[in-house]
Structure 1
Amino acid sequence: MTSTTFHTLGITEDLSSRLAEFGIVTPSPVQAEAIPPILEGKDVLATSQTGTGKTLAYLLPVLQSIDPEIKGAQKLILAPTQELAVQIVRESERYGETRGIGVLGLIGGAAAKRQIEKLKSHPQLIVGTPGRVRELIEIRKLKMHQVTTIVVDEVDQVFNLGGAGDVDRILRSALRDRQLVFLSATVSPETAELVKKEMDQPVEIGIDPEQRTPSALEHYYFVTEERDKLDMLRRVVRHYNPDRAIVFVNATEDLAEVEAKLNYLGLNAAAIYGDADKMTRSRVLNAFREGRTKLLVASDVAARGLDIEGLGMVINYDPPIDAEHYTHRAGRTGRMGRSGMAITLVTDRQTFIMRKFNRELGISIEERALYGGKVRTPRSAPPDRRSGARGPAGGTARKDKPAGKPASISAQGKAGGGKASGERQSERERDRKNKGAPKWLKNKPPRG
């Protein structure tokens, strides 16, 4: 049986050779499925988990179909975030340079005046964020009359970040018979509706639709009390000692606090903010990519579309708000078949979230506990060590009660050493059991 190569998929020799220079010889499943129909000019909706090579799946046929002799925008790629757009520009330049293809990034947050100036060189491939691309179309600086293909990468994220109106306006400005390619890890009802409305008999590609996170990923969660979460994070990082890891928090206002506390503990952390200017974000990300920063503290918005090569671990300091967010967070690691680990810190009351993600994503998120300097399954750890208790491993264990002393006030009462105290304990116990009961039931006298 002949193995599939980029050449057999229809990719030209020069591009195949360029791929080989970077060690890419065998197409991933999504590339093998998507490249032929995109080359044929068909509309395509490709759904594949993050880290499976979706970028090259559309970029190679897009570059191959550009005529470098024709000046002006021929292809447009939209991405939800600055970072993903910059990454696509980098890949486009890497593989398009030898073909004489001009690439320009039109990214929000950068100076529009400079971008307008660069448009005068008539680049053939435009990569941008929806808001900035729409802005330049409306002031007639970006001409769409020659654009034959529009790609929307991570289309669900585009919609989640409020870009649906921008995408609609961009599509209205283009040729009526343009080719559309939508790619995403998940397909929301909004995306499905847009596909139905805009695409002409689309080719639908679904790679492992039931497997929404990378198969090489290990998923674990650690139970701890809310007040001990930072200490548990410290212990997890010290134990696994990843070269780099992304730490996800849910609330943007918590970023600075978590960053500061991690640095105080000597863990070399930096936070990335969604509203930071392009230069600041770029500086923080470069330090993380190069290994000068060990932990990148980020919210979901700030980390959208991040692709950090060789990232081995993500840690959810706060559990994600839903299964889709878990998918996107976990997808930052274990990319292109590499191993990776996703760790979540939860309180006792949040363990149900892990069971919910297990069911919805069809994966196994296993509970682990840190005790005695080792990671154990909860069954093999003493019961009082499961919640981040500090014993020999250095957590926050409860102090053992001195020998010979009664374990509780109620026990004292039974021993005859404090009847009044025992009665107070009974009253408190009765109140605890009656919590939430109607008033008439709380006041009902006890039987007998």
Structure 2
Amino acid sequence: MLFKNLNIIEPIQKSLLQVGYSEATPIQEQAIPTLLAGKDLLGCAQTGTGKTAAFAIPILQGLSTEQRSTRSKKQIKALILAPTRELVIQIGENFETYGKYLGLKTLVIFGGVSQHPQTQSLNRGVDILVATPGRLLDLIHQGFISLKQIQYFVLDEADMMLDMGMLQDVRKIIKFLPQIKQSMFFSATMPSEIAKLANSILKNPTKIEITPVSSTVDIIEQSVYYVNKSNKTKLLIDLLKNKEITSALVFSRTKHGADKIVKTLEKSKLQAEAIHGNKSQNARQRALNSFKEGKTRVLVATDIAARGIDVDELSHVINYDLPEVPETYVHRIGRTGRAGHGGIAISFCDVEEKSSLKYIEKLISKSIPVIENNLYPLVEMPKEKSSKPIGRSSSTRNPKTGYGNKSKGSKVSQSTTRKNDKMNRYK
């Protein structure tokens, strides 16, 4: 369906046409009329489906209509919560793009940088606030932010907030919101704790489910190389020598691993930058902008930092390390194949990651083709006999969930192990 058929006001239509958007995605086609009618929304949609525009356009239209009837000082009327700095920035940019001709003020706030510029902007007046939970709570407690006038509330990437341990902060923020408001809740997956939170926020919501997490985008060409861990970097360098890889987002499991990959690539005269939680916000934003603008061909990222990376026509996603949680694989490869464009997802799998690959294939209900013509084939070493004392048990990791299994005699509780493993996944 075309945007012009969705009862969207002319100034927003003009902005959409200027960035080349004429046809709505399925989630936009279903969500925009629902939200324009004032209903709450529960959306189950993975990255790359166009959900930001699905909630941004109705919010902008609602605030614009109200703006024409009052000239009072700007107060925060819309709040969008997202888990990472990059995603907050991306959402803020989308609001500014779609609302270019509306005269509404959007502000993004997040931690890791000085709060002074943020508080100055808040004092000048803001219509739309896009924030990470931690910094928002800090500024609420300091008296810089009041949420009493909120009319629109969006919780985006709720399942990631669960993984990052943010739900307690989210619940605290919800207590500051007025009872009467329009609420929108988006999550790629719907575990029980997320479903419970959604039920506490939404009132008779319209439910929309687009592209279930288990069904990867069909236009993405997927493949896997079986390779020893010690040869992964050599394989990556060989692949990147192919000029057909115009842009590559490479996923590393850890921050240290991302930095190590970049250093090795640079030694081979391959320009690359890393983006992860140990980088300053300015460094992360510079690296991201350079990648988006095509100045940097390779960006190496951890999962936590990659959420919010939205690059048009990204040609390749490379899983240097397979994720321990199968759903994460779907989120990763969804960075390519966006907006109807094709894309290629390549994965490296060492002997320890075979079980992770098995669970990924089970989730997506298909076998990922194996590249047989491989200069660095996997060579499995014979297993050594265990030297552990008889009777002493150890913690093992379930490759399907990424959590440690509780073993007899362990002094660490299963819940503590689960929490630690969750956080380690996002280093």
TM-score by length of 1: 0.80
Q: Corresponding residue for 1:192?
A: 195
CA positional deviation for 1:187? 2.0
Q: Corresponding residue for 1:130?
A: 133
- Report the 3-state secondary structure (helix = DSSP H, G, I; strand = E; otherwise coil) of the residue aligned with 1:301: helix
Task: Find 1:42's aligned residue among 39, 52, 55.
Answer: 39
Post-superposition CA distance 1:370-415 (Å, at most 9, x none): 35xxxxxxxxxxxxx67179xxxxxxxxxxxxxxxxxxxxxxxxxx
Post-superposition CA distance 1:275-320 (Å, at most 9, x none): 3221111111122222222211111122122112221111111111
Q: Corresponding residue for 2:2?
A: 5
Superposition pairs of residues 3-402 of structure 1, within 5 angstroms:
4-66=1-63, 67-68=66-67, 69-70=71-72, 71-209=74-212, 211-239=214-242, 241-370=244-373, 387=377
Query: Does the CA-based 8 Å contact 1:215-1:337 persist in structure 2?
Result: no
State the one-letter code of the partner of 1:326: Y
| Deviation larger for 121-130 or 25-34 | 121-130
Distance across 2 between alignment mates of 1:436 and 1:144 = 59
Distance across 2 between alignment mates of 1:85 and 1:131 = 13
From the superposition, tell whether residues 305 and 187 of structure 1 become closer, same or farther in structure 2 (CA, over 3 Å). farther
From the superposition, tell whether residues 220 and 87 of structure 1 become closer, same or farther in structure 2 (CA, over 3 Å). same
**C-alpha RMSD over aligned residues:** 2.2
Query: Does the CA-based 8 Å contact 1:73-1:126 persist in structure 2?
Result: yes
- Report the 3-state secondary structure (helix = DSSP H, G, I; strand = E; otherwise coil) of the residue aligned with 2:83: coil
- Return 5+ residue gaps in structure 1 as ranges: 372-384, 390-431, 438-448
Post-superposition CA distance 1:240-287 (Å, at most 9, x none): 641111111112222221111111112111111213221111111122
Distance across 1 between alignment mates of 2:386 and 2:173 = 55
Distance across 2 between alignment mates of 1:48 and 1:134 = 27
- Report the 3-state secondary structure (helix = DSSP H, G, I; strand = E; otherwise coil) of the residue aligned with 1:99: coil
Query: Does the CA-based 8 Å contact 1:268-1:295 persist in structure 2?
Result: yes
Identity %: 34
| Deviation larger for 154-163 or 121-130 | 154-163
CA positional deviation for 1:14? 2.2
CA positional deviation for 1:158? 2.0
CA positional deviation for 1:236? 2.0
Distance across 1 between alignment mates of 2:101 and 2:386 = 72
Post-superposition CA distance 1:87-121 (Å, at most 9, x none): 11111112223111111111222321221111122
Query: Does the CA-based 8 Å contact 1:50-1:213 persist in structure 2?
Result: no
Considering only CA atoms, is the larger Rg found in Structure 1 or Structure 2?
A: 1
From the superposition, tell whether residues 433 and 155 of structure 1 become closer, same or farther in structure 2 (CA, over 3 Å). closer
State the one-letter code of the partner of 2:9: T
Query: Does the CA-based 8 Å contact 1:214-1:337 persist in structure 2?
Result: no
- Report the 3-state secondary structure (helix = DSSP H, G, I; strand = E; otherwise coil) of the residue aligned with 1:344: strand
- Report the 3-state secondary structure (helix = DSSP H, G, I; strand = E; otherwise coil) of the residue aligned with 2:42: strand
- Report the 3-state secondary structure (helix = DSSP H, G, I; strand = E; otherwise coil) of the residue aligned with 2:233: helix
Query: Does the CA-based 8 Å contact 1:330-1:342 persist in structure 2?
Result: yes
Distance across 2 between alignment mates of 1:226 and 1:290 = 32
Distance across 1 between alignment mates of 2:285 and 2:138 = 23
- Report the 3-state secondary structure (helix = DSSP H, G, I; strand = E; otherwise coil) of the residue aligned with 1:311: coil
Query: Does the CA-based 8 Å contact 2:350-2:378 persist in structure 1?
Result: no
CA positional deviation for 1:135? 1.4
- Report the 3-state secondary structure (helix = DSSP H, G, I; strand = E; otherwise coil) of the residue aligned with 2:259: helix
Query: Does the CA-based 8 Å contact 2:56-2:95 persist in structure 1?
Result: yes
Aligned length: 380
- Report the 3-state secondary structure (helix = DSSP H, G, I; strand = E; otherwise coil) of the residue aligned with 2:186: strand
Distance across 2 between alignment mates of 1:149 and 1:220 = 42
Query: Does the CA-based 8 Å contact 2:214-2:327 persist in structure 1?
Result: no
TM-score by length of 2: 0.84
State the one-letter code of the partner of 2:377: S
